[in-house]
Amino acid sequence: MLEFERRVWRRDSAKDELIRRRFNLSPIRYYQRLFRLIQRREALEEFPTTVSRLLRIANSDRPY
C-alpha cells in the first residue's frame, strides 16, 4: 500500500479504480487500512516521506 501511495495521483477517479482492481477493496476500506498502517513505527521507518505526507493529510481537514 505504501509503495502504491508513493505515486502522485492527478485524478481521484483513476486512483479509486486502481484501488478496486489492485487491492480488491473499496476505496473506503483501503483508506481505513492505510490509516492503520501509517500509525505503525515500521511504516515510518521504511517509507518516511510517504508516511509523513499521509499523516499530514490524515491530520488535516482535507480528504485524501
Angle of the 27-38 helix axis to the 12-23 helix axis, nearest 10: 80
> What are the pLDDT tens digits along the chain (64 aa)?
999 999 877 888 899 999 999 999 999 999 999 999 999 999 999 999 999 999 999 988 655 5
Report the predicted TM-score, pTM, of the whole model to 2 decimal places: 0.83
Distances (CA, A) of 62 to 19, 20, 24, 36, 41: 20, 22, 25, 18, 23
- The C-alpha atoms of residue 57 and residue 61 are separated, in whole angstroms, by 8
Mark out the alpha helices in the chain (DSSP H runs): 2-5, 12-23, 27-38, 41-46, 48-58
